[in-house]
Every structure is written in C-alpha cells, then in structure tokens.
Chains A and B, each alone.
Chain A
Amino acid sequence: MSSMAVDTAQSRFLCLKEPHAHNGTLLGFWIYLMSDCFIFASLFACYAVLGTSTAGGPTAAQVLDLHGLAINTALLLVSSVTFGFAMLEMARKNKGAVMLWLAVSGLLAAGFVTLEIHEFLGMIADGAGPGRSAFLSSFFTLVGTHGLHVSVGILWLIVLMTQLGKFGLTDANIRRMQCLSMFWHFLDLVWVGVFSFVYLTGVLR
C-alpha cells in the first residue's frame, strides 16, 4: 500500500514524461486563430471609435446595403456547414464526397468574395472609397481584412483539393483538412461580428 502511494505520488508530482499536446499542429493552429482574433478585435475597436466620423461624407446608413449583406451572410453560413459535411465524409474515408463538399464550400465562399468586391467597387464608384472619411477607412480595413482571409482560405482550399486528388486522405492531408476546417469556421464566426456590429448596428448609429 505504501509503495503504491509513493508510485502515485511520483507520477503525480514528478514529470516522468515530457508533457506535450497530443497533436501539436492543431493546438498551434488554434493559437494562431486566437492571435488572429486580436487583429480583428483591434480593427473592430477602430470601427467602433471611427464609425461615426464621416467628415461630411456618406454615413453607414447611406452606403451599406442590407439586402446584399443578407445574401453574403447566408453564403458564408451555408459554406461553413458544407465544410462540416466534408469533415464528416473524411471521417468515413469517402474521398469523392469530401472533394464534392469542399468544392461546394469553395464555390459558396467565392460567391461571397465576388459579392463583396462588387459592393466595394460600387461604393468606390459612388465616391465612398476608403479615402473619403475615417468611417470608410475603418470600414474598408475591417471588412477588407475579413474578405482577404476568405480569399486566402479559398486559395488554401484549392491547393488542398489538388493534394487530396493526388495523394488521397493521408495523415498529412487529414491534418491539413482539420486546420482549414477550423480556419473556415473561424471566418464565419468573425463574420457574425462584422454583420452585427459593422452593418446592422452601423446603419442605426
């Protein structure tokens, strides 16, 4: 009994094995996402402070289009769910279905970016470009940074689909899929902040 107590005490208080995360890559990627949170938090803070400084230019209520926003929000949310379906098919080792759901997610996200670029170009053409006022600078920086993340996510998705096509569902590809899935859901999460804070409450301020 006493020797057992010593054993337990040793394994509890002495590090017999180096402590390590079971999968360093996923934890590391998660911490990257958390640091990305800070980028967005500071841009949200900028928008919160500068959102009403229109310098006599157009206000949020005049330039932001809520109908387009509703379509964009739906595209990104559905894309997040279809990526989840790809992850489920990956667990079943069903490569064809994984590719299909990834393609659907990519196309939905591409639709999102296309609509956003269309919105930006329309605003710039109407004289509401990022140089017009502090409000528009902070708006374009925040929403543009998110759009850039989604674009890079699409690029990553294309590369990953090529890898999957060539090498199949290898351990490395599964790990990459898990990282991209976190990235994809994270961008949808940030978009919740964007459409609520920048658009919906922006037009009311």
Chain B
Amino acid sequence: MSNSNDHAAHGHEHGHDEHANHGSLRSYLTGFVLASILTIIPFWLVMGHVFQSHWVTITLVLLLAVVQILVHVVYFLHLDTRSEGGWNMLSFVFTIVLVVIVLGASIWVMYNENANMMPMSPQYQHNE
C-alpha cells in the first residue's frame, strides 16, 4: 500500500517537472537526421521517376509522410504519454481520429459522388 502511495507521489512530482522538458540536443539531431532521410526519399522517388506505376509512388510518398509526421511529433514536439498528465496525448489521438474521418470520408464520398454525377453537356465536356 505504501508502495503505491510513493509511486503516486513520485508521479505527481515528476509531472511538475515535465513541462520543463525541452528535449535534448540528441533528440533534435536525431529528429533532423530522420526527417532529412524521410524527406529525401520521397523527392528522389518522384523526381527520379523510380517506379513506373504512379500509384506505387503515391502510396510510398504518403506512407513516408505519415512516418515523418510521427518523427516530428516525437523528436520536435516531444509528445509522450506523460506530458500534461496525458492530456496532450489524449487530445492528439482524438484529433488524429477526427482528421482521419474528415479526410478519409471526404475523399471517399466525393470520389463516389464524382462517379455518380449527371453527365455534363458536351459543350462543357469539351473543356475537360
């Protein structure tokens, strides 16, 4: 019992120091190196025409972007489960869920909407 009390007290004290966490030189340099690599690869994929299929390139570029965003969040924004008693992480996860719904659903719905649209009159189709 006293053990768990100690732990709670320690956790609280720790929490007070937590917002003094500006990261370290090491974390910024690690973030910089990882971000540079994750930037150079997609530029090389697109500008060097590495893959014939555009969809392979697009998928890879978007995947690398997601990885790089996580690198930024961890090494530059120093987001972890402990900062601000977990509220930072909670609001971040909430935002990600909503962003995925907004982006994914918009693209999904509008893609189908486009396919179901009434055909345009020939005079406009000419411009397409």
In the complex the two chains form, is A201's CB within 8 Å of B127's CB? no
Q: Mark B12-47, 1 if CB is under 8 A from A, else 0.
A: 000110111011110011011001100100110111
Q: Which of A34, A45, A196 contacts B106 (CB 8 A)?
A: A45
Is there a chain B Cβ closer than 8 Å to A105's Cβ? no
Given contacts A91-B20, A196-B64, contact A48 B103 (CB under 8 A): yes
**Complex: how many Å from CA A204 to CA B56?**
11
Q: Which of B32, B57, B106, B107 contacts A81 (CB 8 A)?
A: B32
Q: Least Cβ distance of A51 to chain B in Å?
A: 10
Chain A residues contacting B73 (CB-CB under 8 Å) are 189
In the complex the two chains form, is B39's CB within 8 Å of A193's CB? no
In the complex the two chains form, is B58's CB within 8 Å of A204's CB? yes
**Complex: how many Å from CA A204 to CA B25?**
38
Is there a chain A Cβ closer than 8 Å to B116's Cβ? no
Given contacts A48-B103, A49-B107, A88-B24, contact A185 B61 (CB under 8 A): no
Q: Least Cβ distance of A19 to chain B in Å?
A: 8
Identify which of residues 141-197 in chain A touch chain B, using a CB-to-CB cut-off of 8 Å. Answer: 178, 181-182, 185-186, 188-189, 192-193, 195-197
**Complex: how many Å from CA A148 to CA B36?**
24
Is there a chain B Cβ closer than 8 Å to A84's Cβ? yes
Given contacts A84-B23, A84-B76, contact A77 B32 (CB under 8 A): yes
In the complex the two chains form, is B85's CB within 8 Å of A200's CB? no
Chain A residues contacting B19 (CB-CB under 8 Å) are 22-23, 26, 178
Given contacts A31-B91, A66-B47, A188-B76, contact A48 B24 (CB under 8 A): no
> Which segment, of A35-43, A107-115, A116-124, faces chain B?
A35-43
Q: Mark B82-120, 1 if CB is under 8 A from A, else 0.
A: 001101100110110011001100110010000000000
- Of the four ranges (under 10, 10 to 19, 20 to 34, 35 or more), the interface on chain B belongs to 35 or more
In the complex the two chains form, is A48's CB within 8 Å of B88's CB? no
Interface contacts (Cβ under 8 Å), in number, total 142
**Complex: how many Å from CA A22 to CA B69?**
27
In the complex the two chains form, is B84's CB within 8 Å of A201's CB? no
Chain A residues contacting B42 (CB-CB under 8 Å) are 196, 200
Is there a chain B Cβ closer than 8 Å to A135's Cβ? no
With a 10 A CB-CB cut-off, give which of A26, A48, A55, A84 has the most chain B CB atoms.
A84
Q: Least Cβ distance of B37 to chain A in Å?
A: 11
In the complex the two chains form, is B65's CB within 8 Å of A182's CB? no
Chain B residues contacting A5 (CB-CB under 8 Å) are 1
In the complex the two chains form, is A48's CB within 8 Å of B106's CB? yes
In the complex the two chains form, is A49's CB within 8 Å of B106's CB? yes
Chain B residues contacting A26 (CB-CB under 8 Å) are 19, 84
Chain A positions within 8 Å of B, measured between CB atoms, are 4-5, 8, 21-23, 26-27, 30-31, 34, 37-38, 41-42, 44-45, 48-49, 55-56, 66, 70, 73-74, 77-78, 80-81, 84-85, 87-88, 90-91, 178, 181-182, 185-186, 188-189, 192-193, 195-197, 200-201, 203-205
